[in-house]
Amino acid sequence: MVASLTRAFGPANLGLAEDAVQEALVRALRLWPFQGIPTNPAAWLHTAARRYAIDQLRRNAKQPGIEPLPLAAPSAIDDTLQLILLCCHPSIPPESHVALILKTVSGFSVAEIARGFLLPTETIAQRLVRAKRILREQGVSSSVDFLPAVHTALYLLFNAGYPAGGEHCEEAIRLVECLLESGLGTAETQALRALFYLHAARFPTPVAPHRVVLGYQALEAAMQAAELSPWHLEAGIAAAHLWRPIDWPHIVMLYSNLYKVKPTSIVRLNWAVALSQAGQRHEAQELLAAVVAAGDLVDYPPLAATLRAGL
């Protein structure tokens, strides 16, 4: 709904779109218990939000120097994907791209986003305020120049629903498919698609075997890239986990290469676990000690679980 209203009323009115959706939800909470749930709840909410936005624009138009923006023409690109591209505009600082997408498009709270970035809540809140101010004051349009930020946002969206699966995972899969269908995707997008499908193949659903095939097809298409991205390597790791028996030395090699292009403590922690599974216990303990010494995963539950397991 936020994406649709932002497309309709323009990027400068992103804040208004968010307010309109919230207002529509509040009205539903007030009216539906007495009037009953509408036949089409989604359409009711969208109409209520749209009317609220129009009323606010008309009210602002009466103020000197403020003109309502004309409604935008429908786009061939999915509304949600278009909003994601908007959030990655070059005018917005790169470090704010993913945070803005997760807040505006996916509805994550500031605290949830901060946990995902392993950053203080105040830092994320300030980034969001600055990014929304740029959209409001400059009225920028969507851009395809920052696909890496789009990929990262979709990756974090998928992770929010993993390992149990769920709406976040399904939405991330849908959006990566939209990105490829729009013609904006690259070989890295295919690698991300492969990663999603290969992870989703481990969910207990009837379509899991079908997703294994789609994942391998996407990974094959992704190999057209000039160089391997982190998504390629992570997709390779996901594929290796589906093999029986699991080839742990191969996974160790992939994590070693992944750490070269994505040198994070989380990658190093997973690398340590793979080393332990491959029988290289001493190397695993040294790597785990380095992760603990870095101190940036103190509140990261998988680290505590790994330590409790006595790796």
> Helices then strands (H, E): number in the chain?
16, 0
pLDDT score for 143: 54
Residue located via tokens 């004051």: 137
pLDDT over 80 (residue 84): yes
Of the pLDDT bands very low, low, confident and very high (cuts 50, 70, 90), residue 284 is: very high
CA dist list (Å): 144 to 84, 179, 222: 10, 10, 19
Of the pLDDT bands very low, low, confident and very high (cuts 50, 70, 90), residue 144 is: low
Write out the two tokens for 130. 């600055």
* Omega before 206 within 30 of 0, i.e. cis: no
pLDDT over 60 (residue 250): yes
pLDDT score for 67: 44
What proportion of the chain, given as a percentage, has pLDDT over 90?
41
One-letter amino acid for residue 21 of the chain: V
pLDDT score for 272: 96
User: 36's torsion region: left (phi>0), alpha (psi -120 to 50) or beta?
Assistant: left
CA dist list (Å): 197 to 4, 56, 117, 174: 27, 42, 24, 11
**What pTM does this model have?**
0.73
Contact between 175 and 161 (Cβ < 8 Å): no
Q: Of 310 and 289, which is predicted with more confidence?
A: 289
Cα–chain center distance at 193: 13
Calculate ∠ Cα 177-115-276, nearest 5°. Answer: 85
Write out the two tokens for 99. 């945070």
pLDDT score for 69: 42
What proportion of the chain, given as a percentage, has pLDDT over 70?
91
Of the pLDDT bands very low, low, confident and very high (cuts 50, 70, 90), residue 299 is: confident
pLDDT score for 57: 84
Of the pLDDT bands very low, low, confident and very high (cuts 50, 70, 90), residue 145 is: low
pLDDT score for 280: 95
Per-residue buried b or exposed e for 113-139, using 16+ beta carbons within 10 Å of the residue's own CB:
bbebeeeeeeebbebbeebbebbeeee
Host H or E run for residue 104 = helix 94-104
Distance CA 263, CA 232 (A): 15
pLDDT score for 142: 54
Write out the two tokens for 299. 């509140």
Q: What is the CA radius of gyration of the chain?
A: 22
pLDDT over 90 (residue 55): no
DSSP for 211-242?
HHHHHHHHHHHHTTSSS--HHHHHHHHHHHTT
Q: Write down the mean pLDDT value for the chain.
A: 85
Distance CA 276, CA 42 (A): 50
pLDDT over 50 (residue 127): yes
Q: Tell me the per-residue pLDDT of 174-229, one tens digit each, with 9 for 90 and over.
A: 999 989 988 888 999 999 999 999 999 888 777 778 889 999 999 999 998 888 99
Contact between 172 and 75 (Cβ < 8 Å): no
